[in-house]
Amino acid sequence: MMSNNVKWWEKFSPTIMEAEVPQKFIDIINNTGDEVLKDDGLSKKFDFSDNLVGKVSKEVTIPVPDNDKDYCLSILRQACVRYLRAMIQTGRAYEWTKNGGNQSPSEENIILSQSWIVSQYKHEYNPIHTHSGHFSGVIYLKLPDGMENHFNEEIKDHYPASGLIEFSHGEKQDFKSDTLMFKPAVGQMLVFPNWLKHSVYPFYCEGERRSMSFNAYWKHNDNN
């Protein structure tokens, strides 16, 4: 008889970290986003769409007030540190380790390179793409009031996808999935390697689906 001593390995799977950001963070980014998105002049000034592939209403950088900036940056850095430490513990932080990285990185080892808000409405979408940096992330800030009912109706179908983010990697084969979808929730944060392909499906109810995306790099303590 086969032994019951069974181990499961996930060496061949890209890792996605799911976490939750504090309400204070959501309020700060939403308040800043409200000021920019409702003002055509500010939306033009902080427009970031030329750097992105999204087919959405507005994609803008986030001019967070100076008194809140350190707090918001720290939340993002903490998430990247947690992800990096997990990869070190599982032996997947190959470049970090090869280049002399220690076993306990801190926020000082994380550089946030870009962050922006995506304001998405009915019928809009984000085609499959990748990011720059070492880490990428998305945080959900607002969802349409009718999104939950819309999703509950669609889930009756065989492949609910509207408004969801989908990650894809490799080719579909027996005993293997090549995609993973997440249903957005306000405050939800997803952190993943920059090279992981992902897309966002359109939805078909009224209202704004607002998210924040960011890219970050790791650096060793002796790096410039």
So where are the chain's domains?
A: 17-218
Please give the pLDDT value at position 54.
86
Please give the pLDDT value at position 222.
64
Please give the pLDDT value at position 1.
67
Q: Which residues contact 112 (CB under 8 A, 6 or more apart)?
A: 73, 76, 77, 214, 215, 216
List the one residue out of 107, 78, 79, 82 whose CA is nearest residue 93: 82
Element (H, E) at 82: helix 66-89
Please give the pLDDT value at position 223.
53
CATH number of 17-218: 2.60.120.620
List the one residue out of 138, 147, 115, 134 whose CA is nearest residue 48: 115
Please give the pLDDT value at position 136.
97
What are the per-10-residue average pLDDT scores of the chain (224 residues)?
73 89 97 95 93 88 95 96 95 92 94 96 95 96 92 83 93 88 95 96 94 96 60
List the one residue out of 182, 175, 212 whose CA is nearest residue 199: 182
Helix, strand or coil, per DSSP, at residue 77: helix
Whole-structure pTM value = 0.93
Please give the pLDDT value at position 88.
95
